[in-house]
Structure 1
Amino acid sequence: MPDDTVLYVCTTCRAADDAPDGPRGGARLLDALRAELDLRPDAALRIEPVECLSVCKRPCTVAVASSDRWTYVYGDLDAASSARTILDGLARYGATPDGIVPWRERPEAFRKGVIARIPPFPARAAE
């Protein structure tokens, strides 16, 4: 995976079964992702918490971005069981030259949960 790959995790996502005074699903997903990433010391991935990805109707939500690659936003992820699936999917993302993983090679959670695919930021023209 490219060294500049970042996984943004919405920490304010509230899962349907979240207790009103307990940690939100997004925060629990962040913790699970960090724990799973600790088991993969060779993974070149930075996980960043964000307060809101504005996809409140599809919690839990993450976004993955990397230079010269497509950015993806995924939702409907289960806070308790998605960490391994997300990191496995991101390994496939990192193995591509442009971030586009063939549809059938994507984890089911990515196929069903894709919210947006955003093109790479264009390079500046030489002045």
Structure 2
Amino acid sequence: MPETVLYVCTTCRAAEDPPDAPRAGARLLDALRAEIAGRPETDPAAALRVEGVECLSVCKRPCTVAVASPDRWTYVYGDLDPASSARTILDGLGRYAATPDGLVPWRERPEAFRKGVVARIPPFPASSAG
């Protein structure tokens, strides 16, 4: 199974975030890491690589994440709650990782993914150099 990477925008700021407090995106990253740590090694989320990134340029829809994997579609999701979305995100990404192309049927996606999708990006094509 190809590696799946979840990028979490750590600079996302919720409207109610105090200027000197950790930003909503950084709190979401911490919540995701804690949720993964509590799952069994057999859970698909245990193999997920989670990385914080400085900005995903979706500032009007915090919190934002992107999921990518070789030969699969890449998705960007926004409007995620830093306090309650970690389990939903990881469950949805388990479904994503189980597909050959990253295309999870609409009805099988968590509601947060159906409502929060910002972009769906096709897989990078294999090199045609020859």
Common fold by TM > 0.5: yes
1:49 maps to 2:52 = yes
Counterparts of 2:97 and 2:67, CA distance in 1: 10
Over aligned residues, Cα RMSD in angstroms?
Answer: 0.9
Once the two structures are superposed, what CA deviation does each residue of 1:100-125 show, in whole Å capped at 9, x if it has no partner?
00001000000000000000000012
Letter in 2 for 1:4: E
Deviation of the 1:20 alpha carbon: 1.4
Counterparts of 1:115 and 1:63, CA distance in 2: 9
Counterparts of 1:91 and 1:77, CA distance in 2: 17
Deviation of the 1:67 alpha carbon: 0.4
Runs ≥4 residues deviating over 3 A = none
Counterparts of 2:129 and 2:60, CA distance in 1: 42
* Counterpart in the other structure of 1:70: 73
**Size of the alignment, in residue pairs?**
126
Counterparts of 1:39 and 1:77, CA distance in 2: 21
1:37 maps to 2:36 = yes
Once the two structures are superposed, what CA deviation does each residue of 1:32-70 show, in whole Å capped at 9, x if it has no partner?
000001112332110000000000000000000000000
Deviation of the 1:3 alpha carbon: 4.5
Contact persistence 1:3–1:45 (CA under 8 A) = no
Deviates more, 1:55-64 or 1:17-26: 17-26
> Structure 1 vs Structure 2: percent identity of aligned residues?
82
Counterparts of 2:25 and 2:32, CA distance in 1: 10
Unaligned stretches of 5+ residues in structure 1: none
Once the two structures are superposed, what CA deviation does each residue of 1:64-84 show, in whole Å capped at 9, x if it has no partner?
000000000000000000000
Unaligned stretches of 5+ residues in structure 2: none
TM-score by length of 2: 0.94
